[in-house]
Amino acid sequence: MAGTRVVGFLMYDAPRDDDEARIYRFMIDRASQGRGYGKAALREVLDEIQGLGHVSHVSICYEPDNDAARDLYRSAGFVEEGLDEDGEMIADIAFAARTDDP
């Protein structure tokens, strides 16, 4: 959201019985792209997912020729893992190990 205007959509899954979260959809309206909304949304969702406490890494897929997506995910720390069976690039980000020590 930008004020009261919807600028994008994001959907993820973080099952309690899995240490991996998956971002399935991440779209920013074409008219709103290039204004920092994607970077801000990605930062927020990664913070939210990490705050769940049971997730150690997050994966996302995107078209390999989508340079804007590649640059965004790379800047957030995602590392490309290779292509999936549908020809989409898989990228993954690992969270630092949590410690319960004060």
Q: Is the pLDDT of residue 7 over 90?
A: yes
In this predicted structure, the answer to whether residue 65 has a pLDDT above a threshold of 60 is yes
pLDDT at position 42 is 97
Amino acid 68 reads A
Spatial neighbors of 13 by CB under 8 A, at least 6 apart, are 21, 22, 24
Percent of the chain with pLDDT over 70: 95
**Strand 20-28 to 57-62 pairing:** parallel
The partner residues of 8 in beta bridges, in order of sequence, read 28
What rounded mean pLDDT belongs to the chain? Answer: 94
Q: Is the pLDDT of residue 100 over 90?
A: no
For residue 15, the 8-state DSSP code is -
Query: pLDDT at position 96, please?
Result: 86
CA distance 60 to 21: 9
Q: Identify which of 2, 10, 6 has the alpha carbon closest to the alpha carbon of residue 48.
A: 10
